[in-house]
Amino acid sequence: MASLDDLPLDTGRGDPAGMAPSAPSSPGPRVVQVGMLAALVAGAGIWYAVTRQRDADAPATAAAPPAVAAPAADAAPVAAPLPPLGEMDPYVRELFATLGTHPEFLKWLATDDLLGALVTAIDRLAEGQSPARDLAVLRPTEGFAVTRAGGITRLDPVTTARYAPLVAAVTTVSPATAAGAFTTLRPRLVDAWMAQGHPDGSFDEAVRRAIAVVATTPDVPGDAALVPGVGGYAYADPAFERLPAAQKHLIRMGPDHVRRVREAARQFGAALAARATTPAAPAPPPRQ
């Protein structure tokens, strides 16, 4: 049975749901769940868009990426070329800094190969797997904990509370602004996707599936009973235990956090869909 606790950082690339339980008084280093993914890929993270047109409902200055050239008075805006894939980290840091200055964002932006890690997380999430290993820098500092009463083991509320900063970072981002950033980066995300061995043309479908994993995560009571599993805990209810590992990790954040992240994913997906169906604004006629 897949466990409910967080993955130890020194674990190999096995099932991301497998983890060792810890007592409430014995926190240790762990890996974060799918919260950030819901924001960045969610997760579009996870996300589905193919156009570069600004959202009709977002101010042009708010959605504009940092590397957009200033247009001449009589010309349509022209985006500056993106750097090569191997030189994208500084550009991504500048672009995502426009989404907010929450410490959770800053921790992720301080890492390297940002697009490669993001694409790997999208791939995992699209398959229902946890992207925790690819977002290890966001792991909570507190450990996994359970309570026991009346012979029933349940998730300790302190375990869900540790995700409050991550959920705050996700849910304070404007979906339209996040969709604009994703659309800007999409050509290099596709490059990173293909560099990891995926076929051309499959990225957008993976993004769609990844968003759906987050957006369709069901409601599970925060006090759902747990039972001993292999190396940790499992849900006593087989219907909960059969959920994909990514959704079980998200559920571990607590019902309120799940609802907020799930809604953020839905709004993000809608913003990307709107971009994909909004026709580009016509260029002004040439000067006579």
User: Residues 89-95: contacts with CB within 8 Å, 24+ apart?
Assistant: 89/113, 89/114, 91/66, 91/67, 92/185, 94/66, 94/67, 95/65, 95/66, 95/67, 95/181, 95/184, 95/185
The sheet with strand 146-149 has its strands ordered as: 146-149, 152-155, 226-229, 232-235
- Cβ-contact 32, 138 below 8 angstroms: yes
CA distance 68 to 80: 5
Query: In terms of residue numbers, what domain contains 87?
Result: 35-144+170-222+245-277
Kindly state whether residue 73 falls inside one of the protein's structural domains: yes
Kindly state whether residue 269 falls inside one of the protein's structural domains: yes
Kindly state whether residue 189 falls inside one of the protein's structural domains: yes
Instruction: Give the torsion sign (CA, 106, 38, 139, 13).
Output: negative
Tally of structural domains, the chain? 1
The confidence score (pLDDT) of residue 143 equals 78
Residue 234: beta bridge partners? 227
The confidence score (pLDDT) of residue 156 equals 93
Give me the residue label for tokens 């966001």: 138
- Cβ-contact 165, 35 below 8 angstroms: no
The confidence score (pLDDT) of residue 106 equals 82
The confidence score (pLDDT) of residue 231 equals 77
Kindly state whether residue 29 falls inside one of the protein's structural domains: no
Kindly state whether residue 7 falls inside one of the protein's structural domains: no
Kindly state whether residue 59 falls inside one of the protein's structural domains: yes
Tens of pLDDT, residue by residue over 69-126, are 333 444 334 456 899 999 999 999 988 877 777 787 788 888 999 999 999 999 999 9
Kindly state whether residue 255 falls inside one of the protein's structural domains: yes
The confidence score (pLDDT) of residue 278 equals 60
Residue 226: beta bridge partners? 153, 235
3-state helix, strand, coil in the chain (%, to 5): 45, 5, 50
Q: Which residues in the chain land under pLDDT 50? A: 1-78, 280-288
Kindly state whether residue 10 falls inside one of the protein's structural domains: no
